[in-house]
Amino acid sequence: MTGLGAITPIGNDVATTWENAKNGVSGAGPITHFDASKFKTQFACEVKNFDGNALFDRKKVRTLDLYAQYALAAARQAVEDSKIEEDPNVNRDRIGVIVAAGIGGLHTFEEEAGYYALNEDKGPKFNPFFIPKMIADIASGHISMEYGYHGPNFGTVSACASSNNAIIDAFNLIRLGKADAIVTGGAEAAIFPAGVGGFNSMHALSTRNDSPATASRPFSKSRDGFVMGEGSVVLVLEELEHALARGARIYAEVAGGGLSADAYHLTATHPDGLGAILAMRNALEDANLNPEDIDYINVHGTSTPVGDISEMKAIMEVFGDHVYNLNISSTKSMTGHLLGATGALEAMFSVKAVQDDVVPPTINHEDGDEDENIDYRINFTFNKMQQRPVRAALSNSFGFGGHNATVIVKKFEK
């Protein structure tokens, strides 16, 4: 990892996002993107103070759904941070872009569908940018066009595992010698009526409208669903010798990735975490690491009654007694759930944990708010960050459809 960029509910750059995560700052508040007063859930973790018109020219903005605006803004940060564009020998044919979205341009789809419904008597009339703004791969296209990167270019879609899939795809293509560097990550902007209403109808979202900042409470007995988030995190992943040759700063090393399927249910995780177990074991094998080599797990930890328990069952199965030596935390307690962008955000938090030897907290846990199905001898890093050596960190992402993706990062040693 040689470059990091972030547009998140707790900061519009990496430094602010990481500082707020360490300090347990919640990004939740009343929804401002639309009037949510008649919805069961009226709050979310929105990006704040983001103005696409200040970042892109007027013609460009017309072609960009909000999710793609977030992606391109985060990509600019990551590429600048990596300094890869300062290399006079950069080969753009060997640089790719793989940026994920679980949904893509939902706001664009809503606007166009609504316009058609209002004008159906006059015949169909759609914006010519409707399709290229909406599709879930277009963020990758915009980034590649911005920099003239001609390497592998696509988007991955596996619901909430999407951006972990993107990182793993980038990792594997570089290992195969198909690229020197890949700009990768995820973006999402689904805090609009269809997104909130759809998840409400599934009873997936917290309805704690009286206290948005404390609504996301993973591993607490009183958890009642996840809090929607939005934004983008983009990372520059680079082949080692290529990075060393140009004197790049290396944040951490991607050690391995694991993939699996629950093959169980449309939306629910397997109750015993069978797919999660396989993904984590595959990642450890790919990284040539033992469970005892992991110091921190950034869990999927969405704050849903069933999901948190199944993930902990899986972790206990994979890590055995070492689970009591780990630090575990769910940063979704602060950022909410960024859907297709969540894996990239949590991979970034894992990279920063490895770099700084700091574990960010799981906030909103109160004394006595304990679930009899969860082993609280495990260190969930409740409410306050913890400093400790972090040699390697594992990050889990699981998605509707039974998609599981695990990424492992570790300290870089020359």
Amino acid letter, 181: A
**Catalytic annotation present for 337:** yes
Residue 391's CB is within 10 A of a number of other CB atoms, namely 14
Q: Of these residues, 33, 160, 365, 403, which one is catalytic? A: 160
Q: Of these residues, 270, 300, 365, 403, which one is catalytic? A: 300
Pairing status of strand 29-30 against strand 43-44: antiparallel
**Catalytic annotation present for 322:** no
**Catalytic annotation present for 45:** no
Place of tokens 């040699």: 391
Would you say 378 and 328 are in contact if contact means Cβ atoms under 8 Å apart? yes
Residue 352, helix vs strand vs coil: helix
What are 298's strand-pairing partners?
329, 395
Place of tokens 């300094």: 83
Would you say 165 and 158 are in contact if contact means Cβ atoms under 8 Å apart? yes
Contacts with 58 (C-beta within 8 Å, 6 or more apart), sequence order? none
Task: Provide Rg for the chain, Cα atoms.
Answer: 20
CA–CA distance, 328 with 295 (Å, rounded to integer): 9
Return the active site residues: 160, 300, 337
